[in-house]
Chain A
Amino acid sequence: MTRRTLTVPRRWTVSAPATTALAACALTWFPLVSKADTWAVNRDASTIAFSGTHAGAAFKGTFETWRADIQFDPADLTSAKADVRVDLTSANTGNMTYDKTLPTADWFDTNSSSEGRFVTNAFRAAGENAFEADGTLTIRSFEVPVTLEFTFKRNGETAVLKGKTKLERMAFGIGKGSDASGAWVSLDIPVTVDVALTKAPEKSVASPKS
């Protein structure tokens, strides 16, 4: 299997002179007005994983291809935001029967849309180094509110973000035709994220979202 790697675009914070660029950004879906730290994902050390049971047997999988734009400063949660895009065709469970089934119409339906996307800008503290983010997860055109619980541990210019949430696959119509009751495939699909971050260098120019 060829592994496609998407590079994480560098996201730049904005300094005072960049007002014209700022105006342009304000028109895009992702305005770059925050002062929160911007983080680049170290993809080789990061994982988005899902799990569940099928016919009583546990399965685990990861998404091979995804990108995340993260701005986060524990001291300034109001300006924190994250946008994660996952290539659903890159789901890999190590079981060929599952991997050939997941992209089909009743499951991820990747012919219609191959992207899963989680967007959030509502963060709150939930203990030491612990946070919660209320966001919207979109899969198969279903937009579902999802709360990600995570820890964020910063160590100088790097940080580690570990998070988890539990998805109800039927909220996205995943497997609706094959197994709507969960007799085969668990209705709850726990998802974990384990992300290694490096603080992106400060730049004096704003870059509109491409």
Chain B
Amino acid sequence: MARVASETYSTVAMVLHWLIALSIIGLIAAGTWMVDAIKVPETQGQAFVVYQFHKSLGLTVLVLSVARLAWRFVKPPPPLPSSMSGWERFAAHVSHSAFYVLMIGMPLLGWAMVSASPLGLPTIVFGFFEWPHIPYLANLTDKKPVEDALKQAHEAGGFILAVLLVLHVVAALKHHFVNKDNVLARMVPGVRAPRSVTEKEHA
């Protein structure tokens, strides 16, 4: 029995996509600002608060991304438009996979980094409950070099994520305005695909 794939994303997938999207934008903005602001006495206090917020938001993305990945198996995403060429499909799959690797990997890296910090600052998720450190890293005798290495990886990951985000948005807009297919519309509530009407007429 062939399974009929839906034309659009499910509400759950859309909600998760947009929550994660907003969080990632917030994380990149906060992360970029705070690493410098923490070094300036005038902004040190705010930066400390932003660090704590960044940690909470990152863990939120971790949870939401695992949920979204699980949801993909429950309800697979709609297929790519048949008009897309082989390399385009390949590029789409690679970038989407990379997103999942980063959406789950970046919070884990951040968590590892916080756990390996010689400061040993606890993570209180949005001020409500304590998220534990990773015991192995928290108990290292010489934490600093481990923290430094993880910090560099986290920073590099953030840069790759920002590039990927730009590509993702540009590609979505290209699908909508150049290819005039339903790729953007099926993820944005209230937006209709430019050619959806004509496609239906031909169907």
Contact = CB atoms under 8 A, between A and B. Distances in A.
Nearest to B125: A96
Given A56-B41, A57-B45, A97 B118 contact: no
Contacts of A56: 41-42, 44-45
Nearest to A97: B124
Contacts of A54: 45, 48
A55 B49 CA distance: 10
Interface in B99-128: 118-122, 124, 127
B201 interface: no
A106 interface: yes
A127 interface: no
| Chain A interface extent, by class | 10 to 19
Contacts of B121: 97, 101
A178 B143 CA distance: 12
Interface string B44-72: 11011000100000000000000000000
B130 to A, nearest CB: 6
B48 A178 contact: no
A129 B10 CA distance: 75
A55 to B, nearest CB: 4
Contacts of A17: none
A55 B96 CA distance: 40
Contacts of B48: 54-55
Interface of A: 54-57, 96-97, 100-101, 104-106, 177-178, 184
Interface of B: 41-42, 44-45, 47-48, 52, 118-122, 124, 127, 130
21 contacts: A54-B48, A55-B44, A55-B45, A55-B48, A56-B41, A56-B44, A57-B45, A96-B122, A96-B130, A97-B121, A97-B122, A100-B122, A100-B124, A100-B130, A101-B121, A101-B122, A105-B120, A106-B120, A177-B118, A178-B120, A184-B44
